[in-house]
Amino acid sequence: MAVQPILKYPHPLLKKLAHPVPRLDAEIATLIQDLIDTMQAGPGSVGVAAPQIGAGLRVCVVDVSKSRHGKDNHHGLLAMVNPEIIVRSGSAVMREGCMSVPDYTGDVERATGITVRFLDGQSGAQQEVAASGFEAVAIQHEMDHLDGVLFLDRVVSISTGLFRRKNYG
């Protein structure tokens, strides 16, 4: 249980389809804790997916509660195993960034409301969560990692919607 290094684009594992988790066990519990630790250590991070730390499994964590964009509309820490979006509604373009693509942000169109079904990685229970706004965007972003998709693949316009990240350090 520790902060793990984040794979950076163009690492080939970031473009691979992640495998379903057959059962929750101690190995998956450790992976989930590593994802949580890694997310919490990342500056401004609101989520991490298993492929970003080199694990090709359908597991991701999202927590927008500490973000100014999500602090008023969230479900807290979501540890999602084998998540699938079962409902999508609305559409909006938002600026996204990613720890695996640290030098850029981009304008991405996403659903503004989703319902996601998953196995809760902490309780083991099947759950459905209706998310909206920034939380919905964060969940979709992390779930894309499970399909080998980066926000770069979804930027609305490479010529006008991709931006070099400002260096605040």
- Looking at residues 12-34, what average pLDDT do you find? 98
Over residues 25-53, the mean pLDDT reads: 97
Per residue in 66-107, pLDDT (tens digit) is 999 998 999 999 999 999 999 999 999 999 999 999 999 999
Per-residue pLDDT tens digits for 108-165: 999 999 999 999 999 999 999 999 999 999 999 999 999 999 999 999 998 999 999 8
Residue 97 and residue 113: Cα distance in Å, rounded? 20
**Number of neighbours of residue 88 by Cβ within 10 angstroms:** 15
User: Helix or strand or coil: residue 128?
Assistant: strand
DSSP letter at 83? E
Q: Which residues of 141-160 are buried (b: 16+ CB within 10 A; e: fewer)?
A: bbbbbbebbbbbebbeeeee
With 90 as the cut, is the pLDDT of residue 169 above it?
A: no
pTM here is 0.96
Amino acid identity at 63: D
Per-residue pLDDT band at 1 (split at 50, 70, 90) = confident
Tokens of 69: 């964009």
CATH of domain 12-164: 3.90.45.10
N residues, the chain: 169
Sign of CA dihedral 97, 140, 28, 13: negative
Residues marked as catalytic: 142
Domain limits, the chain: 12-164
**Can you tell me the distance from the alpha carbon of 127 to that of 145, in angstroms, rounded to the nearest whole number?**
20
